[in-house]
Structures are given as C-alpha cells and as structure tokens.
C-alpha cells in the first residue's frame, strides 16, 4: 500500500514539478480547483483520509493583480492555508507550505534569514505572510518553505516571457536594480519532497521556517542576459540589445523588494539541502524549452 500525500496547486509550476518528483512508494493525490477550490476549502478534511502529509503549492500568485483584489489573495493565500493546516492538525499529519521572498520589505537588504522581520511591501506579500502566520498558529506540525523567482518550462514565468519577447523584438529593457535568486521549480520540488519525507519519517522533526532558492544571486537583467546567452547557443532568435533599466522606469502596480535574496544556510544545516547555482538551472530550462520547440 503506497503512502499518500495530498498536493494542492498540482497544476502550477511547483505542483507539476512535485508530481513528477514523487518518490518511490508515494502516491500524490492532486485535486484541481474544480475538486478542491481554495476560496472555500471547507470540505478539505474529506481529502485527508489515508493521507500522511499535505504539501500546499497552491497560491494566488498574480502579484500586480493582487493590489486590485486583495480579499481574493487573502482567501487563497491566508485563509485557505489556515483551514488546511487546522485540518492537518486534527488528522495528526504534517503540512509543508510554500511561501515567498516577498514577505520581506521593499527597501531592506538581504540575504534575509528566517528570523528577520517580515514587512511585506505589497498585497500579495501581505497575504502570503498572513498565510504563514495561520500555519504557525494552527497546531499542525509544519514546514514553511520560502522561495523566490520561480522558473520552469511550465506555466507563465520570466524565462518564457523573455524568450517570447526576445523572438519578437530587437531591444528589450529589463530592470537591473532588483536583486534576488531564480529558483528552478524542479529543484524546489525535490527539496519539498526531502522535507515531507523527513516529517513523515520522524515524528520528532521540529516545525519551522526555511529558505530555499537556487545558489547565487542576480538581477532581472542578469537573469535575462543568461537566458539569451543560452538561447543564442541553441540557435534561437535573441534581441540585439538587452538594456538595463531602473525600477523607476518600469512602474508596476505592486512594489517589489529591491533585494529579496534569501540566506539558505539553515535548510542546508537541517536537511542537507543545497540547490545548484541558478545559472545551471536556468540553462536547463532554456534547453528544455528549445528542445520542445516552445521557446518562440
């Protein structure tokens, strides 16, 4: 009889990667939003029968749109994790919950450590931080895993947007004064699996918060430059100029942190998890997209 884990957000970037990374002996149950709508997850308890862990990869992730519909962001990112976590506590099973670098302030300096004070600068970050607090106070055994700048060959993300725009335009202007670290959804998913296995295998594993990104750091401009360098090697069309600009010249509805680098030493110490350099991870994604003919 395989162990069963409940996964929410199984159609998203991280959720899809996690379904592909299911370890031997684990069956992943991944209801989609028509089966388990997180704006009203009251019947979540019925999904927990025979389940030994919950991994919450679902979220309202439209960072700019959240400024216009903060209540919806709160429902999905804060209220639902609270309900999930209380149900997990009642069932006596652990919850692995994914959170974000955007809980940190717009103007502070990283790399941020887990105990640094959160002070979100936008509605999405507020809702994600409220979700963390709901999980922490639920009574469930939990791991809150904060990550950043998630990229993959699935869904919509910066790598895919750059490749699409790069195929259409000769000049791209990309923000060069926000620092952070891209994170391959597959690398993160493998880390979430390791953590879930530790919690299911060891009832004494303490709850906590851990940071998890690929290694290194860059800016959005640095990331774009790397994407196009790899794309060019693979014979894809790239722009002639990738111009670095300041955030002030690319206004968005939501304010983003100037520096959202996360210090990932705690997850290395506690779980032996150290993700590879972001450059390698991003090169793999560009290669994957090119081989699937999806890059253009």
Contacts to ligand NAP by CB under 6 A: 9, 11-15, 32-33, 37-39, 57-61, 76, 98, 100-101, 128, 147-150, 155
Q: How far is the CB of 15 from ligand NAP (least distance, A)?
A: 5
Encoded tokens for 35: 């089966």
Q: How far is the CB of 226 from ligand NAP (least distance, A)?
A: 16
Judged by CB, which is closer to ligand NAP: 100, or 209?
100
Cβ atoms < 10 Å from Cβ of 150 = 22
Judged by CB, which is closer to ligand NAP: 186, or 239?
186
Judged by CB, which is closer to ligand NAP: 24, or 255?
255
Q: How far is the CB of 155 from ligand NAP (least distance, A)?
A: 4
Judged by CB, which is closer to ligand NAP: 19, or 198?
19
151, 183 Cβ separation under 8 angstroms: yes
Judged by CB, which is closer to ligand NAP: 98, or 255?
98
Q: How far is the CB of 12 from ligand NAP (least distance, A)?
A: 2
Q: CA 70, 71, 74, 77: dihedral to nearest 10 degrees?
A: -80
Cα–Cα distance for residue pair 47/82, rounded to 1 Å:
16
Residue with token string 């509805």: 253
Residues present in the chain in total: 296
Q: Is 102 a catalytic residue?
A: no
Instruction: Name the active-site residue from 60, 102, 124, 250.
Output: 124
215, 296 Cβ separation under 8 angstroms: no
Judged by CB, which is closer to ligand NAP: 47, or 149?
149
Cα–Cα distance for residue pair 87/231, rounded to 1 Å:
46
The residues, any chain, with a CB within 8 Å of residue 233's CB and separated by 6 or more, are: none
267, 115 Cβ separation under 8 angstroms: no
Cα–Cα distance for residue pair 85/94, rounded to 1 Å:
8
Give the angle 204-146-255 at the CA atoms, nearest 5°: 155
DSSP labels for 98-123?
A: EEEGGGS-TT--SSBPTTSPP--SSH
Q: How far is the CB of 216 from ligand NAP (least distance, A)?
A: 16
Instruction: Find the radius of gyration of the CA atoms of the chain.
Output: 19
Q: Report the residue number whose CB is nearest to ligand NAP.
A: 12
Q: List Cα–Cα distances, 10 to 36, 76, 186, 204, in angstroms.
A: 11, 15, 13, 28
Q: How far is the CB of 204 from ligand NAP (least distance, A)?
A: 27
User: Which residues are tagged catalytic?
Assistant: 124
């Amino acid at each position: 009889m395989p162990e069963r884990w409940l996964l929410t957000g199984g159609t998203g970037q991280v959720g899809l990667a996690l379904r592909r990374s299911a370890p031997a002996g684990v069956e992943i149950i991944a209801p989609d939003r028509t089966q388990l709508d997180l704006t009203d997850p009251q019947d979540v308890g019925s999904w927990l029968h025979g389940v030994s862990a919950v991994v919450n990869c679902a979220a309202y992730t439209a960072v700019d749109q959240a400024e216009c519909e903060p209540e919806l962001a709160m429902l999905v990112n804060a209220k639902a994790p609270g309900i999930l976590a209380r149900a997990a506590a009642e069932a006596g099973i652990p919850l692995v919950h994914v959170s974000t670098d955007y809980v940190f302030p717009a103007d502070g300096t990283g790399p941020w450590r887990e105990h640094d004070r959160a002070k979100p600068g936008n509605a999405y970050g507020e809702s994600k931080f409220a979700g963390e607090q709901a999980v922490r106070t639920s009574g469930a055994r939990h791991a809150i895993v904060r990550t950043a700048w998630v990229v993959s060959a699935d869904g919509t993300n910066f790598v895919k947007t750059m490749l699409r725009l790069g195929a259409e335009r000769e000049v791209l202007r990309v923000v060069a004064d926000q620092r952070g670290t891209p994170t391959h959804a597959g690398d993160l998913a493998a880390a979430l699996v390791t953590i879930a296995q530790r919690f299911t295998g060891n009832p004494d594993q303490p709850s906590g918060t851990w940071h998890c990104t690929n290694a290194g750091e860059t800016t959005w401009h640095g990331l774009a430059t790397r994407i196009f360098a790899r794309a060019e090697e693979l014979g894809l069309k790239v722009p002639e100029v990738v111009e670095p600009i300041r955030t002030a010249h690319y206004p968005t509805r939501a304010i983003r942190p100037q520096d959202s680098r996360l210090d990932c030493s705690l997850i290395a110490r506690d779980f032996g998890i150290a993700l590879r350099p972001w450059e390698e991870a991003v090169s793999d994604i560009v290669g994957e997209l090119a081989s699937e003919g999806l890059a253009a």
